[in-house]
Amino acid sequence: MIGIDIVSNKRIERALNKYKSKFLEKIFTKSEIEYCLSKKTYIECLSARFAAKEACIKAIYQHCFTRLEMKQIEIIGKRDEGVTVKIHANDIELSSLEILVSISHEKDYSVAVALIT
């Protein structure tokens, strides 16, 4: 199963400016927040992870008709090391899924593709 998502970086920036930490804490794990906020390009980092989470949600739903919350999906890794996905769920099948993710971002947009292997 495959999922894809594209997000406007300005949309994420507006949400962050409007809702502050409530937005971050609803969508991202503590590790994701710490990692992205340590970057000069933190908006693009958050946007790329947002797109990756959405892509994963779409792929997972096609796989087993289950909808996860954004925070249940953790995007781990750095540009040089590649990206891995960790599912925080009580369901053993869900938490053991192997999901490959590719992320890209530019000034205005971030995009991600997720593939369940």
Domain spans in the chain, listed from the N-terminal domain onward: 2-116
Fold type of domain 2-116: Ribosomal Protein L22; Chain A (3.90.470)
Q: If you search the block for the tokens 């609803």, which residue do you land on?
A: 26
Q: Which secondary structure element, helix H or strand E, spans residue 10, and what is its range?
A: helix 9-19
Residue 116 near residue 4, CB atoms below 8 Å: no
Judge whether residue 60 has pLDDT over 70. yes
Tell me the pLDDT tens digit for each residue of 63-101.
Answer: 999 999 999 999 998 667 789 999 999 888 888 899 999
Instruction: State residue 79's pLDDT score.
Output: 65
- Residues β-bridged to residue 116: 99
Distance from C-alpha of 49 to C-alpha of 111, rounded to nearest angstrom: 9
Distance from C-alpha of 85 to C-alpha of 23, rounded to nearest angstrom: 21
The answer, as to whether pTM is greater than 0.75, is yes
